[in-house]
Copies of this chain bind each other. A is one copy, B any other.
C-alpha cells in the first residue's frame, strides 16, 4: 500500500471542510493558534511511514496525554486502577459533574476529565518526580528527547479551570483523590500542555499498535494483554460522547484532544496521527475525523 499517495488523496478530499468548525478558545493560549492548519502522519509496524502538510508542527496534545497517563497508571497499579475509575463509556459530555455525583465520586472512565484527574493523583502519589517522570515516559515512547511541556498553556488552563477545579474538589470530597488539590490540578494541566507533532504522536502510538512487541519505556512496562486492553478503552471511551460515531465512521481505537489532534491505531498494522484545530460541537477535529474516515474507507481496513 502506498500510504504517501493515500494521505495526499485524503487531503485533497477533505479540503472542502477546511473552514468548518471552530478552534478551542476557552483558554487564551489555544485561541492564539492559527486554525487553518492540517497535518497527518502514519507509521506501520513494518517500518513504513508517510506524512503530509504540517506533520512536523507541534501542537498542544491536551487530552491525548490521557493515553500516556493510563499506560503509566496501568503499569504501576495494574487492575487495582479500576477501584478508583471505571471503564465504561460515559454517555454524556466529557466534563459532566452529574455522573460523578450520582456515582459517588468514581469517574466513569479514565478519559473523562474526572478520570484523568484521578490518574494525575495516582501518578502524583507514586512517582518520585511526577513532572519529570511523566515527560521522560512520553519522550521514551516517542523516541524524542525534545518533547516538552508548555508552561504558558498549563498556567492559562489553571487560571480559567474552574470546572476542573470543581471536579477535583468533588473527587476530594468523595475521597477518590488523596493529594493536595492544587498540586494535582497543576500536574494535570502540565500533562495536557505537552506539545507534539503528528509525526511524533504517530510514532509514540506505534507502541500501542503492536502488542507483540515488548512495551517497556523509561521503566514503564505493559503486558501484551494490557496493551490490547488500553486499545479497548480507547475504542469505547476515546472520543468524548462521540465514541459511537467514531467507531461507526472510522472503526479504530484512538484518542482526541481539544487542541485538534487525534491519534489512532490499527492493531498489528499501523498508528496514525492527524491534526487540525477546528473542532466540531463535540470537541473533535472536523478535518481529523474526516481524514481518518477516509483512511479506513480507502484502505478498506478497520478493526470491524
State the CA gap A163–B170 with chains docked (Å).
Answer: 6
| In-complex Cβ contact of A229 among B87, B211, B242, B248 (8 A) | B248
Whether A109 contacts B244 by the Cβ 8 Å rule is yes
Among residues 160 to 211 in chain A, which have CB atoms less than 8 Å away from a CB atom of chain B?
Answer: 162-163, 165-167, 169-170, 172-173, 181, 211
- Segment of A30-38, A43-51, A91-99, A134-142 engaged in the interface with chain B: A91-99
Judging by beta carbons under 8 Å apart, are B167 and A172 in contact? Answer: no
Which residue of B86, B229, B267 contacts A303 across the interface (Cβ within 8 Å)? B267
Stretch from A2-10, A11-19, A58-66, A233-241 forming part of the interface with B: A233-241
Copy count, this protein chain: 4
A228 to B99: give the CA distance in the assembly, Å: 31
Residue A83, interface by CB 8 Å: no
Q: How large is the interface on A (under 10, 10 to 19, 20 to 34, 35 or more residues)?
A: 35 or more
A267 to B88, CA, bound (A): 23
Contacting residues, chain B, for A242 (C-beta < 8 A)? 88
Contact with B along A208-244 (1 / 0, CB 8 A): 0001000000000000110011011101110001111
Q: A97-B101, A169-B163 are in contact. Are A236 and B232 (CB under 8 A)?
A: no
Inside 8 A of A297's CB, which chain B residues have their CB? 225
Query: Once bound together, how far apart are the Cα atoms of A203 and B122, in whole Å?
Result: 46
Tell me whether B163 and A166 are in contact (CB under 8 A). Answer: no
Which residues of chain B come closer than 8 Å to A237, judged between CB atoms? 244
A90 interface residue (CB < 8 Å to B): yes
Interface code A144-162, partner B: CB below 8 Å = 1, 0 otherwise? 0000000000000000001
A179 to chain B, nearest CB (A): 13
Selected from B231, B244, B302, the residue in CB contact (under 8 A) with A89 is: B244
Q: Determine the chain B residues whose CB is within 8 A of the CB of A245 once the complex forms.
A: 87-88
Asked whether A283 is an interface residue with its Cβ less than 8 Å from the other chain, the reply is no
CB < 8 Å: which of B91, B166, B232, B233 contacts A167?
B166
- Report chain B residues within 8 Å CB of A247: 232-233, 235-236
| A:246-290 near B, CB below 8 Å | 247-248, 251, 253, 267
Q: Which residues of A contact B (CB under 8 A)?
A: 86-92, 96-99, 101-102, 108-109, 162-163, 165-167, 169-170, 172-173, 181, 211, 224-225, 228-229, 231-233, 235-237, 241-245, 247-248, 251, 253, 267, 297, 300, 302-304
8 residue pairs bridging A and B, Cβ less than 8 Å apart: A88-B244, A109-B244, A162-B170, A165-B165, A228-B302, A233-B247, A253-B304, A267-B304
What are the 5 A-B residue pairs with the smallest beta carbon separation, nearest first?
A91-B91, A162-B173, A166-B169, A231-B304, A89-B89
